[in-house]
Amino acid sequence: MLLKTKLKSSDKLSALQMLALCPALAVTTTLSRSLAISGALLVSLTLSAVLVSVLRKRISVKLRVPVYLLLSSFSVTMVYLIMRAVFPASVMALGIYLPVLAVSCVMIMRLETFSACNTPGPAALDGLITGAEFSVIMLGCGFIRELLGTGRLFADPFGQGGLKIFPAAPVSFLAQPAGALLLIGAGMAVFQYIQIRSEKKAAAELETV
Amino acid sequence: MEYVLLLLAAILTDNFVFTKFMGIEQSFVSSEKASTALKGGGVVTAVSLVGGGLAYLLYRFVLSPLEISFLTLPVGVLLTTAVVAGLEAAAAKNSALEEMLRAQFPMLTTNAVILGAVFLAIQQDLGIGAAFLLFLGAGIGYTLAALAFSSIRERLCHCTPPAAFAGIPIMITAAALAVMAFSGFAGLHFL
């Protein structure tokens, strides 16, 4: 039930949430890097959502944002240590972007609006779903940027190896930071276009009835 | 000379907002006018210098020698929020200052520029002086980006993009063009 209502509301990813994603977008140059950063975001978001909802009655209203930040930084540290042990290469490739996840707006926004007033179960689910949404966006971005920006697919986090799809990079501009922003802007425009059209269709149907 | 180049590199070629997208949401949201962008940039620079500087000193002299450097993230977050809280308390005594800064405070603690600069300094193993210059450069670079975005937003108020692009998409696209323009500085090669 909750999953359904959640999925419905997430149809309209708010614009601010898209912007909140930006620091993580900078690393989505390849699919493997996107996978690493979105996995880290998914796990640490879920972990900190559970932590916040468990402690929600003990967090004072005045100090809530510092406490959320501290809890999210602890969960990101945990994820960092685990990733460093299991996937050392991806941690090297992510560099300074992994710790910075702790202060990303996505994290604090979800913690403040949902986890702080819900029990651990729904909070964990919310963390998982939000993380999955952003993962889909980041993986899509990584896929397009790697395919068109480098002409290859499935390279390792340092951009070595991988399948050669095109002889040369078709749109090498996409591999640069500005390419990610342009891609997201265009993606959001497409999204908005579909929304406007469906609204128009609904209005037209109303008129014919 | 080397230090001047380091500062210039942090402001222009390795601008945190334009090349790393750190603090891009804050520089977007808090830059309705050029004056608010300047104020916000000033506060970010101050917090970056004090909070980031303290965090880096703590890393260099306490966390790194004790081999508990994985605690840098919680410690850095704590220090920056403490500095922001201190600024807030100091501003509370001066009503004019408080009014001026009130809009900036909620965005400050989640500004990735500050922590990003600390971790970059750790990654590059900078000396104390160089690290402080990097923090200063990160703050100035953020101010520059916020100013650029405020001008972009003012221009966007006077144009009517296609319906699909109205609102955030055109802003992001315009920002992408600004980022592209800024990447021209990459040819400077300071270091």
pLDDT of B60 reads 92
Contact A69 B19 (CB under 8 A): no
Integer Rg of chain B from CA: 17
Tell me the pLDDT tens digit for each residue of A89-137.
888 888 888 888 888 877 888 888 888 888 899 999 989 998 898 888 8
Record the tokens describing residue B63, joined without a space: 């966390």
The reply to whether A13 touches chain B by the CB within 8 Å rule is no
Residues of B in contact with A184 (CB under 8 A): 172
pLDDT of B191: 55
**Calpha distance A156→A34 (Å, rounded):** 11
Residue A17's pLDDT band, with cuts at 50, 70 and 90, is low
Using the Cα atoms of residue B97, residue B98, residue B104 and residue B110 in order, give the sign of their dihedral. positive
Nearest to A22 among B24, B73, B110 (CB): B24
Which B positions 67-96 lie with beta carbon below 8 A of chain A? 70-74, 76-78, 81, 85
Query: Which residues of chain A are within 8 Å of residue B18 when distances are taken between CB atoms?
Result: 177
Amino acid (one-letter) located at B190: F
Q: State pTM to two decimals.
A: 0.87
pLDDT value of residue A3: 52
Q: Which residues of chain B have pLDDT under 70?
A: 100, 103, 106, 189-191
A19 pLDDT above the threshold of 70: no
How many other C-beta atoms are found inside a 10 Å radius of the C-beta of residue A174? 21
B166: phi then psi, degrees, rounded to nearest 5: -60, 145
Find residues 38-67 of chain B whose CB sits inside 8 Å of chain A: none
Query: Closest by alpha carbon to A65, among B8, B64, B100, B105?
Result: B105
**Structure-block tokens of residue A140:** 């899509």
Please state which of the ranges A80-94, A155-169, B109-123 shows the lowest mean pLDDT.
A155-169
Report residue B159 CA to chain centroid gap: 29
Domain boundaries, chain B: 2-188
Nearest CA in chain B to A92: B123
CA distance A132 to A34: 12
Give the lowest-confidence range in A13-22, A66-75, A180-189, B65-74. A13-22
Dump pLDDT digits (tens) for B50-69: 999 999 999 999 998 998 88
Structure tokens that stand for B55 in this block: 């965090």
Single out the residue of B128, B132, B143, B149 nearest to residue B43, CA to CA: B143
**By C-alpha distance, which of A186, A141, A149 is closest to A34?**
A141
Interface predicted TM-score (ipTM): 0.85
A12 pLDDT higher than 60: no
The residues facing A153 across adjacent strands are A163
Radius of gyration over alpha carbons of chain A, in Å?
19
Q: Which two tokens stand for residue A145?
A: 């940027």
Residue with tokens 């986090």: A157
